[in-house]
Structure 1
Amino acid sequence: MEFTLKQKDSKSKARAGELSTDHGTIQTPIFMPVGTVASVKGVHQRELKDEINPDVILGNTYHLYLRPGIEILEQAGGLHKFMGWDRNILTDSGGYQVYSLSGNRKIKEEGVNFKSHIDGSSHFFTPENVMEIQRVIGADIIMAFDECTPYPCEYNYAKRSMHMTHRWLDRCISHLEKLPFKYGYSQSFFPIVQGSTYKDLRKQSAEYIASVGAEGNAIGGLSVGEPAEEMYEMAEIVCDILPEDKPRYLMGVGTPINILENIALGVDMFDCVMPTRNARNGMLFTAHGTINIKNKKWEADFSPIDEMGITFVDTEYSKAYLRHLFAANEYLGKQIATIHNLGFYLWLVRTARERILAGDFQEWKTNMVQQMDKRL
């Protein structure tokens, strides 16, 4: 993997870069649609490529391990071939899913015992076998196994968890060195900064992660319920420490405004289920604010869904028609809304990149945040 900085904004810490892997170039800043179980929910791969057009998508180790299972993925030749996707894939390590299973897991130094959310069967994740699983899945970028702490989190717990995450990282690196690549292309490895919302812990963790010298670095444990201002404060602290010549990935973030504010702090990569999940509930993100398409005010509005939108659904369908589909509980409505939201998120990060390169990102960002912070 190679990462090249193309431009830095003069009035913020925003960056435009290029990250190259064996499956192509990723232009940053970038948003990665979430394809949890080898599928971006409600979207065909052809629509994903031709309309939304992301350079990279995200898969989830925990879910893929349970279904379809690593045996099937290995027989298929890896996740790319299994799902018919020839561009970049990043897999998270399952640490967040283990966190979300708080009632069905037990964390100890060796690893995590957990019960499947599907059938209640028992499983055990360690730093070592999570590296093995991600080798079989075959994503271009793979993540270290970590513990994502909740919010709020007591200081002493956050500190113990952070040090354990660092020890797990050492085990990940040691074991990964013994595992050959499986499918004729390389994988890049990102460790994860933790430390909850404590400044001293975030600094300590960022310094440790930076010292590892990985090809890229991630920031975890944010967007778990803390106020947005605390998220931004932690992201800024970490970005100021992580090396400038490596991509920075903020995991699980967030709203369009969250993304722009974190780009301004020096973050390069994002993922979040929000555009797809909110779409299925009738919430549409636009450059002018958020639309609840279920509202009666759209019942006879025959204007396009979004005249500024980049996907075919934005101009081929009206707000009235999309509202009707939701009122009738027709799944096509959820699909249309999903394509729109993902298209908007990709438009947002790509326009941010254009503005960084043009030298007027900060002014554009300030205006966009004001516009998007509206309910239409």
Structure 2
Amino acid sequence: MSKIKYELLHVDKYSKARRGRIHTPHGIIETPVFMPVGTNSTVKGLTNDQIKNIDSEIILSNAFHLFLRPGMEIMKDFEGIHNFMNWNKPLLTDSGGFQVFSLKDRKISEEGVLFRSPLDGSKIMMTPEKSMEIQQTIGSDIAMAFDECVNAKWGYEYMKDSVDRTYRWAKRSFEAHKKENQSLFGIVQGGLFSDLRQRSLEQITSIPFDGFALGGLAVGEKYQESEKVLKEFGDKLPKDKPRYIMGIGSPTMMFLSVENGMDMFDCVLPTRMGRHGTALTWNGKLNLKSAKNKFDHSPIENDCNCYACKNHTRGYINHLLKRDEMLGKTLISIHNLYFNIHLIHKMREAIENDSFLDFKKEFFSNSSYPLQN
């Protein structure tokens, strides 16, 4: 078994959108790709068969949460996450950086981040070396270097120090990573400062990572600010490696990301919206809790081939939601993930035909999704 291999198959003639293929120890990933989030080694409310039936090629799990529970002793006992959750397709773990930095009681030093466990209050020091140890024990196909995920609104001087610290942590992550059949991605930071993004880009890409990510976006900044970073730096990432933008999952942001040369993205949005009764459709968002669905015999979306649409009506799902039945949330989650994944399939076809921008225009003209968030 070897690390990943990336093939660039085609670039759209009229945009930076690219069509590729990633070979991993657990199978092939066609790109661009949307990755459902399985934080605790499960995509909330869905079985593995349900995830596979919506054509998911890879899922994401979280090193920080798995480190806390079930813990590395259990991961070692099961010889990794694929055995633990009985998942035989590719899997990516994030480093836990975002979760660590979202905690209030934490102290950042050159060594790493000292924080208290949200489970029992015990003190934990998370370092690049510790993050690599955790992710290697988990055994994901793709691991992420430990970085500092900062608020995009923080000041220039702190951001500059953070960028340089992320670089030093990236070098330590690379040196500590020894698992031969696991790839490691580096993360470019820099917030909304172009010169710091460029600085981070040059620093991180100087390390021979297997892929590269743009971090520090989708953390509350305006759409125009994300757009500026993506347009300026998306296509500057190495062309012969996978490009990953973290935390992206709305149709608007997926189109923006693909148009600017990104290959991979993940988000909890489809399942979170599903648990709150909102479906994603080709016409726009649909509130299935609304009383107008009570007598509706139609599926969530006509001509949709997901399990929910092939087997159940809006009226039935409305009833499940009103009674707070788990099945209702599961059905909408299945549909929403199917929607995102098959929207990406359509993007792939459009890239291959050099018609990505035409497809984008058609999509937004026929739906209520905002062209800009």
Using structure 1 for the length normalisation, give the TM-score: 0.95
Q: Is the 8 A contact 2:16 2:235 kept in 1?
A: no
Residue 82 of structure 1 corresponds to which residue in structure 2?
84
Q: Which contiguous aligned blocks of 4+ residues in structure 1 show a shift greater than 6 angstroms?
A: none
d(CA) in 2 for partners of 1:322 and 1:356? 35
**Unmatched 5+ residue regions in structure 1?**
none
1:174 Cα shift?
A: 1.5
* Residues 1:37 and 2:23 aligned together: no
Residue 8 of structure 1 corresponds to which residue in structure 2?
11
Residues 11-69 of structure 1: CA distance to partner in whole angstroms, max 9, x if unpaired? 110000000011111000000110101100000011111x2121110010000001110
Residue 140 of structure 2 corresponds to which residue in structure 1?
139
Higher mean alpha-carbon deviation, 301-310 vs 5-14, is at: 301-310
d(CA) in 1 for partners of 2:51 and 2:97? 27
Q: Is the 8 A contact 1:36 1:59 kept in 2?
A: yes
d(CA) in 1 for partners of 2:39 and 2:366? 31
Residue 316 of structure 2 corresponds to which residue in structure 1?
321
d(CA) in 2 for partners of 1:268 and 1:119? 38
d(CA) in 2 for partners of 1:374 and 1:202? 29
1:309 Cα shift?
A: 2.2
Q: Is the 8 A contact 2:92 2:141 kept in 1?
A: yes
Q: Is the 8 A contact 1:253 1:272 kept in 2?
A: yes
* Residues 1:370 and 2:365 aligned together: yes
* Residues 1:273 and 2:268 aligned together: yes
* Residues 1:168 and 2:169 aligned together: yes
Amino acid at match of 2:42: S
Q: Is the 8 A contact 1:199 1:234 kept in 2?
A: yes
Give secondary structure in 2 for the equivalent of 1:191: strand
For the structure 1 residues 323 and 180, does the alpha-carbon distance in structure 2 shift closer, same or farther, using more than 3 Å as the test?
closer
Give secondary structure in 2 for the equivalent of 1:263: helix
1:1-376 superposed matches below 5 A: 1-49=4-52, 51-101=53-103, 103-176=104-177, 179-181=178-180, 186-374=181-369
For the structure 1 residues 127 and 207, does the alpha-carbon distance in structure 2 shift closer, same or farther, using more than 3 Å as the test?
same
Percent identity over the alignment?
44
Q: Is the 8 A contact 1:210 1:241 kept in 2?
A: no
For the structure 1 residues 372 and 94, does the alpha-carbon distance in structure 2 shift closer, same or farther, using more than 3 Å as the test?
farther
1:118 Cα shift?
A: 2.4
Amino acid at match of 2:226: M
Amino acid at match of 1:71: E
Q: Is the 8 A contact 2:279 2:300 kept in 1?
A: no
Give secondary structure in 2 for the equivalent of 1:149: coil
1:170 Cα shift?
A: 0.8
Amino acid at match of 1:187: Q
**Unmatched 5+ residue regions in structure 2?**
none
d(CA) in 1 for partners of 2:369 and 2:10? 31
1:242 Cα shift?
A: 1.0
Amino acid at match of 2:27: G
Residues 106-146 of structure 1: CA distance to partner in whole angstroms, max 9, x if unpaired? 11110011122223222110001111111100000000000
1:206 Cα shift?
A: 1.3
d(CA) in 2 for partners of 1:370 and 1:192? 34
1:180 Cα shift?
A: 4.3
Give secondary structure in 1 for the equivalent of 2:213: strand
d(CA) in 1 for partners of 2:369 and 2:168? 44
Using structure 2 for the length normalisation, give the TM-score: 0.96
Number of residue pairs aligned between Structure 1 and Structure 2: 367
For the structure 1 residues 243 and 180, does the alpha-carbon distance in structure 2 shift closer, same or farther, using more than 3 Å as the test?
closer
